[in-house]
Amino acid sequence: MIRFLSVIALIFASFSALAAIDTYEFTSEEQRARFYYLSSELRCPKCQNQNIADSNAPIANDLRREIYRMLQEGRSNEEVVDFMVDRYGEFVRYRPALTAQTAVLWFAPAVFLIAGLLVLVVMLRRRQKVFKTAGEEHLSPEEQQRLKALLEKKPRND
């Protein structure tokens, strides 16, 4: 039984050996750093919430290979990103460029925060106004004078 379980464990362990690991040889450390920077800045079109460096999707593997090829050709980071944006759209960037189409992504959180604060201020002022006038409406003039006298009276320190 132990032999059977160890064979099963070895079979499952061998599946991890089948996982593809990208190995690229770079001409310089600067080129390696650029590769890792670009692959961490670009979003996987399939996974959507992972960058292509962390994704195991086949398309992410293709994009990493494409970045490597373009870096070997001597292209700049901007050229690589522009190529990916032209091919996959602005979505492929984690931080989209500020354009008319992406302005909502950049400014909507601030607009909603300011609008929420304004609504809160208006609600609090209305509530304060209602409480301030509510007490005066229900008291007769004599009761209002008595309340005023009580409020003005200083408490004794015993």
Instruction: Using alpha carbons, select from 81, 39, 97 the residue that is nearest to residue 64.
Output: 39
* Residue 36 maps to a domain: yes
pLDDT score for 19: 47
Instruction: Using alpha carbons, select from 99, 97, 90, 81 the residue that is nearest to residue 41.
Output: 81
Residue 77 burial (CB count, 10 A): 14
Domain end among 48, 72, 92? 92
Token couple for 29: 């450390």
* Residue 8 maps to a domain: no
Which residues sit opposite 42 in a β-bridge?
93
- Axis-axis angle for helices 77-88, 58-72 (nearest 10): 140
Residue type at 135? G
Question: Do 86 and 107 fall within a single domain?
Answer: no
Question: Do 38 and 73 fall within a single domain?
Answer: yes
Question: Do 84 and 139 fall within a single domain?
Answer: no
* Residue 97 maps to a domain: no
pLDDT score for 95: 78
Q: What is the pLDDT along the chain (158 residues), one digit of tens a residue?
A: 777 777 677 676 655 544 445 677 888 899 899 999 998 889 888 887 888 888 888 888 999 999 999 999 999 999 999 999 999 888 888 777 788 877 887 889 999 999 999 999 999 998 887 776 665 567 778 888 888 888 887 666 65
* Residue 9 maps to a domain: no
* Residue 78 maps to a domain: yes
This prediction's pTM: 0.54
pLDDT score for 18: 45
> What distance in Å separates the CA atoms of residue 29 and residue 45, rounded to the nearest whole number?
28
Question: Do 56 and 79 fall within a single domain?
Answer: yes
Q: Which domain holds residue 116?
A: 103-152
* Residue 122 maps to a domain: yes
* Residue 2 maps to a domain: no
Domain end among 92, 116, 135? 92
pLDDT score for 146: 87
> Helix or strand or coil: residue 67?
helix
CATH of the domain at 35: 1.10.8.640
Question: Do 139 and 83 fall within a single domain?
Answer: no
Instruction: Using alpha carbons, select from 56, 104, 102, 62 the residue that is nearest to residue 83.
Output: 62
Domain end among 68, 92, 116? 92
